[in-house]
Structure 1
Amino acid sequence: MSLTTYAQSNFTSKVIGVGVVVADLDRSLDFYVNGIGMVKTGSFTINEDFGKRSGLTNGTATNVTILKLENSPEATDWKLMSFGSKPSHPKPKHIQDDTGMQYITIQVKALKPIIDRLTQLKVPFLGSTPTPLNAKAHFVFVQDPDGNFIELIGPLD
C-alpha cells in the first residue's frame, strides 16, 4: 500500500477544522462574518477539566464559536476562541515574518461584494491588491484583526 493510498483512506472526514485563538472575539466575528461573509454554525465550551486533561489549555475554560464558508458538513470549521489576552509577539507584516500557519486561501464566486464589505469595515488591503492573476481571477490579500493573512481569489464581479 502506498502512503498516498493510506492517507486517503485513513480519515473519517475530508475536512480539517482550524482553531484560531483571537484577542477580541467580537472584533474577529465582525471581520469574518460581516467582512469575509462566513456564517456561524455552532459553538461549544472547553471546560477547565477537559482543557487540562486534553492538554488544550492549562485548565483555562473557553467558549469556541464555529464559523464556516457555508453551513454544510463538507465546509471547513473555522473555530474562534479567545482567552482575553493580547498576543505575545508582534503582528506580522508579511508571511515570512513567523512560522506556522500563516495564511488561508478562500476561493470566491465574486470579489466585489467582499471588497465592498471589507472597505466598509476599514480593513486595509495588502500590496497592490486586488491584482489580476489571470483573465478570470483576481487576488486580494488582507489580515484579520490578529494578523492572520487571508487570500481571496476569484473574479471581480
Structure 2
Amino acid sequence: MVKISLIICALFMNCVAYAQSNFNSKTIGIGVVVADIERSLDFYVNGIGMVKTGNFTINEEFGKRSGLTNGVAVAVTILKLENSPDASEWKLMSFGKKATHPNEKYIQDDTGMQYITIQVKSLKPIIERLKKQKVTFLGTTPTPLSKEAHFVLVQDPDGNFVELIGPLE
C-alpha cells in the first residue's frame, strides 16, 4: 500500500512539474487600462518608483483582428520594478475615458483584479514620495506584520489597490 502511495505521489509530482514546464517565462505581463495615462505614469514612476522600460502601439487592424479592441488603436507603456528581463511587466494604456464600474473603497467591492503586492527593500522613500503626491494611505498604515516587515495600502489614480510590504527603513 505504501509503495502504491509513493508511486502515485511520484506520478503526481511529475505531472505538476510537466505542467509548469509549459511556460517559457516566469513572469506575468499585466495590462491595465487607465483613465489618464500621464496621471498613472506619475503615480507608478514618481510615486511607487517603477521604471519605464518600453512601449508599443496596438494599431487599429491588429486590435480588431486579435479581439483586443473593436478597431481602436492604443499606445502601451511598459513599466517594471527594475529594468530586468526577470521583472514582470505592468503595461499601462488609456482610451481617454473613465471606468464604467464604481470606485472601490475595499477589495470586496468589485470583482476582477483588485490589487497588486510589491515587496520593497525600504518603505520610507516610497511613503515620502507618495505623501508628496498627496496619495491617501488606507487603513492604519504602515501596519506592522512582523519585526522586519510593515504593510502599506494605497490606491492608484484609477482605484486599483497597491500593497507595499517591507521594512520601514
Q: TM-score, normalised by structure 2?
A: 0.91
Amino acid at match of 2:23: F
Structure 1 unpaired stretches of 5+: none
Which has the larger share of helix?
2
Paired position in structure 1 for 2:90: 78
Question: Matched residues in 2 for 1:51 and 1:6: separation?
Answer: 33
1:143 aligns with 2:145: no
1:99 aligns with 2:101: no
Q: What's the secondary structure of 2:129's corresponding residue?
A: helix
Paired position in structure 2 for 1:26: 38
Question: Matched residues in 2 for 1:65 and 1:25: separation?
Answer: 9
Structure 2 unpaired stretches of 5+: 1-10
Structure 1 runs of 4+ off > 4 angstroms?
Answer: none
Question: Matched residues in 1 for 2:26 and 2:19: separation?
Answer: 11
Once the two structures are TM-superposed, the CA of residue 89 in structure 1 deviates from its matched residue by 1.4
Paired position in structure 2 for 1:44: 56
Once the two structures are TM-superposed, the CA of residue 90 in structure 1 deviates from its matched residue by 1.3
Once the two structures are TM-superposed, the CA of residue 8 in structure 1 deviates from its matched residue by 1.4
Aligned-residue RMSD, C-alpha: 0.8
1:90 aligns with 2:102: yes
Q: Deviations over 1:32-88 (max 9, x none)?
A: 000000000000000000000000001100000000000000000000000001111
Larger Rg, first or second structure (1 or 2): 2
Paired position in structure 2 for 1:58: 70
Q: How many residues align?
A: 157
Question: Matched residues in 2 for 1:139 and 1:55: separation?
Answer: 38
Amino acid at match of 2:24: T
Question: Matched residues in 2 for 1:104 and 1:7: separation?
Answer: 25
Equivalent pairs: percent with the same residue?
Answer: 76
Question: Matched residues in 1 for 2:132 and 2:167: separation?
Answer: 20
Amino acid at match of 1:97: D
